[in-house]
Amino acid sequence: QLMRLLQETDVLITSGAVSMGSRDHIKPVLEEIGTVKFGRVCIKPGKPTTFATVMIPQSQSLSQSVMHKKLVFALPGNPASVHVCFKMFVEPALKKFSGVSDNFQCQLPPISVQLTEDIAMDAERPNMARCTVYWDKASQKFHGYSTGSQRSSRLLSCKSANCLLRIPQKNGVMRKGDMCKALVIDSLIPDMPPTVDCHMASSGHDELHSHCQCGSHSATETHRERVLQNKIKIGILTVSDRASKGIYADKNGPVLVQAMKEIFGEECIENLQVQVVPDEDKRISEWLNKWQQEKVDLIITNGGTGF
């Protein structure tokens, strides 16, 4: 069955049938038909994750066939393990395989996060903990909290996660206020009110801590519901001589407007201004200074950067 699938695909991803015990069925097959590059990873969750390459003959003509290298990712069966390992191993490889030449662009972006709660460490393996991260204006740092129980079978831990915290392999606990490395896997949340301590209990419960006052919001609220507590102001400035004179329409501005609405949700945007100005320093400065005085949270310019 694997050979048939490999004839039809460039990359094969399996889920389940890899384990640390007698139910490790995929790896022996891959060892027989190809080359296993690694069969264990030192992270939690996802230790049995396996990667292999298989050379498959594919005909180019009636008399000639060429060997093609196929990639096989064998992921564990538990949903959180699949989620984490897909983000860490499969997604970067697919970007590279699809033609992205810059290795940095293929990787998950790393950031530093200040914890808003205590998180237990594991002495056996580093833990890629699912967490929710937001930008805190007061401290000018990313703040993050666990999405609850980190059991590999608990898919709910992935629902509101936008980062993977790299919890070190140690005994003990990382304390609230400690800095921790993280990998970004989804859109980050804009600033949340610094007076609101919104984080989930790391004990595994989905309820917010009893001292956390968030109105009627529950721990399973979506990112956009959290952003509603502090709506965002956006300014989009298109710099173009011809567009400012009406010679042709500004097409970039509407595209950026739509992108902002998709990212933040219309209900989370307090004010969205779009302006088109000529390629002149004075006019550009006027609008940038105006928006700064109006305390616009996000300013996006396009154009005016040529040589």
| Alpha-carbon span 90 to 71, nearest angstrom | 10
Measured CA angle at 153 (ends 147, 155), to 5 deg: 45
| Alpha-carbon span 206 to 219, nearest angstrom | 6
Instruction: Write the pLDDT tens digit of every residue in 229-262.
Output: 567 899 999 999 999 999 999 999 999 998 888 7
Regarding whether 209 and 135 lie in a shared domain, the answer is yes
| Alpha-carbon span 161 to 134, nearest angstrom | 11
Domain boundary among the residues 182, 208, 229 is at 229
Domain count, the chain: 3
- Scan for tokens 């000529």, then name that residue: 278
Asked whether residue 307 is assigned to any structural domain, the reply reads: no
Give the structural domain span for 64: 2-106
In terms of Cα–Cα distance, which of 272, 263, 270, 185 is closest to 224?
Answer: 263
Please tell me whether the overall predicted TM-score, pTM, comes out greater than 0.85 for this model: no
Strands 232-239 and 298-302: parallel
Note the pLDDT of residue 172: 95
Instruction: Write the pLDDT tens digit of every residue in 69-120.
Output: 999 999 999 999 999 999 999 999 999 988 888 888 899 999 999 999 999 9
E strands within the chain? 11-15, 35-38, 50-59, 65-75, 110-115, 119-120, 127-136, 141-146, 163-167, 173-174, 179-184, 232-239, 269-277, 298-302
Answer whether residue 205 shows pLDDT above 90: no
| Alpha-carbon span 1 to 113, nearest angstrom | 44
Domain boundary among the residues 229, 255, 279 is at 229
Pick from 52-56, 254-258, 268-272: least confident: 268-272
CATH number, domain containing residue 29:
3.40.980.10
In terms of Cα–Cα distance, which of 178, 108, 119, 177 is closest to 147?
Answer: 119
Asked whether residue 177 is assigned to any structural domain, the reply reads: yes
Note the pLDDT of residue 7: 87
